[in-house]
Amino acid sequence: MFTQNLKVNYLLKITALFWIITKIISYKLWLSNRLFPLIPVADFFDNCPNWLHLSLYILGMCSMFFVFLFPSNRIIIGFTIGIELLSCLLDINRWQPYQYHFILIFCFAFFFRKQKSFLNYFVFLLIVIYANSGLHKLNGGFLFYVWENLILKQLLGFKSDQISNTFIHYLGLSLGLFEFIGALGLLFFKNKKMVAALLIAMHLFILVLLSPLGVNHNSVVLPWNFAMIIFLLVLYFTNETTSFKFKELIDGYQIVFFILIGVLPLLNFFGLYDNYLSFNLYSGNLQKMYICVENRGEASQFEPYFSKNKTVVDCSNAILLSNWSVNELNVFPYPEKRVYLKIMQKWKAQNPTIAAKFYLVNYPYHKKNCVQIDE
């Protein structure tokens, strides 16, 4: 019999387990002895020693392990939240979407004393993630870079003439619509088990797509997708389907979380809120940054990160920031202009002998959309 208490405990155990796995996969993200620069939230944290980063990394995973063993212990949950928030203050690139999701889950467990409030917000957060992720995929960047390149070409082996078919091209929009309708289904549909089953099928497809069986790309999100599958199973395939009540979201101080999760991400559609905090996932149209090195011989340590293919910038020695980040840290960089500018400043300070130019490229990724930046 899956009582509310048992459901909450299982959900926290699942979160803790797969959170640990993501941190193991992306371990270099949590350390400072690396090439990719750390971008602290404030200059005050700029010169923290590596032992502090390492200590926070180990403490965070140990506390998650204890949450896995004792999911009802709010003290351990609160300690984990504090450790992870401090660690993320030391480098904004650690604010990955799955990291934000898991922190929010632990916050629900820490701040909400009623189990029904935890479950209500847990479901609401799933709805928000699916809705925002789906809507952000309804653009040409997703069609070209994710649908055509990753799915049709690399995964399914389609030829260029097949992809050029108008129907095939725009069929990719159905993926974003599917995700958005899944969110509506969890919100309004009576048969939520069917909706959850379809969303589980979507996550299974993502697991195949990004795994070595598919394109072998961005492996750090694989545990997140595994966790999402188990979340849906616990919520909708146990003895009693978890209910959702909108009015309870704004009960008392809980309205703070409603604004944080339900309102602020909508501002991202107007460019007023960060992409990762709005669950803008695999949309294919986020701003990119290129580093064009003029004296490549002085940059031998960056040799593995130079682009092997032609780029949109007029440069033969280009480093695409996202490729560098994925190859070294196993995550994408935090996709905001202010972070890119900080990375440029750090590059110049750390590599004074390497002459380089820096470019931001907006979607669509053409030369005319390349803008050289400087301090």
**For residue range 278-311, what is the model confidence (pLDDT) as tens digits?**
999 999 999 999 999 999 999 999 999 999 888 8
The pLDDT of residue 1 is above 70: no
d(CA 55, CA 61): 10
Q: Determine how many CB atoms are found less than 10 A away from the CB of residue 297.
A: 8
What residues have CB less than 8 Å from 152, skipping those under 6 apart?
Answer: 158, 162, 163, 168
Cβ(354)–Cβ(305) below 8 Å: no
Per-residue exposure over 77-103, b if at least 16 CB sit within 10 Å of its own CB, e if not? bbbbbebbeebbbbbbbbbbbbbbbbb
pLDDT at residue 239, as a whole number: 75
Question: pLDDT tens digit string along 223-251?
Answer: 999 999 999 999 999 877 677 888 899 98
Instruction: Please give the distance of CA 273 from its chain centroid, rounded to a whole number.
Output: 15
CA distance readout (Å), 51 to 19, 32, 33, 59, 92: 21, 9, 10, 12, 18
Strands 318-320 and 288-293, how do they pair? Answer: antiparallel
Structure tokens at 14: 């699942």
Instruction: Please give the distance of CA 132 from its chain centroid, rounded to a whole number.
Output: 12
pLDDT at residue 220, as a whole number: 97
Instruction: Please give the distance of CA 54 from its chain centroid, rounded to a whole number.
Output: 22
Structure tokens at 272: 């007023």
Rounded to a whole number of angstroms, the CA Rg of the chain reads 21
CA distance readout (Å), 201 to 5, 73, 195, 236: 27, 33, 10, 14
Question: pLDDT tens digit string along 207-220?
Answer: 999 999 999 999 99
Q: How much of the chain, in percent, has pLDDT values that exceed 90?
A: 90
The pLDDT of residue 2 is above 80: no
pLDDT at residue 301, as a whole number: 95
3-class secondary-structure state, position 363: coil
Mean pLDDT of 341-353: 95
Question: pLDDT tens digit string along 306-340?
Answer: 998 888 998 989 999 999 999 999 999 999 999 99
For the purposes of burial, counting CB atoms within 10 Å of the CB of 45, is it exposed (0-12), middle (13-18) or buried (19 or more)? middle
Q: Confidence band (pLDDT; 50, 70, 90) for 160? A: confident
| Mean pLDDT of all residues belonging to the chain | 95
Per-residue exposure over 175-214, b if at least 16 CB sit within 10 Å of its own CB, e if not? bbebbbbbbebbbeeeebeebbeebbebbeebbebbeeeb
**Sign (positive/negative) of CA torsion 30, 8, 74, 76?**
negative
* E strands, 75-225, in order: none
3-class secondary-structure state, position 316: coil
Question: pLDDT tens digit string along 16-44?
Answer: 999 999 999 999 999 999 999 999 999 88
Please report, in angstroms and rounded to a whole number, the separation of the first and last CA atoms in the chain: 61
What residues have CB less than 8 Å from 348, skipping those under 6 apart?
Answer: 356, 375
The pLDDT of residue 375 is above 90: no
3-class secondary-structure state, position 281: coil
